[in-house]
Amino acid sequence: MTIIEDRWLSVEEICRYLGVSNDTVHRWIDTNGMPAHRMGRLWKFKKDEVDGGARQGKAGER
């Protein structure tokens, strides 16, 4: 069985990874350009893109 490490994460998974609420993630998408991809009605995330945004200090900007 092959485990895929570079997979798309759901909102719930990215919330757990970052230790923030669902509302916070949606606010960061809307106001700070958090790297997220819309797939139908769902938001999906690549962990390395989110990490890159956090390293650049974009997650907490207003």
pLDDT of residue 62 exceeding 60, the answer is no
pLDDT of residue 58 exceeding 90, the answer is no
3-state helix, strand, coil in the chain (%, to 5): 45, 15, 40
pLDDT of residue 38: 96
pLDDT of residue 20 exceeding 90, the answer is yes
- 56: helix, coil or strand? coil
CA gap 53, 60 in Å, rounded: 10
Residue with more model confidence, 17 or 3:
17
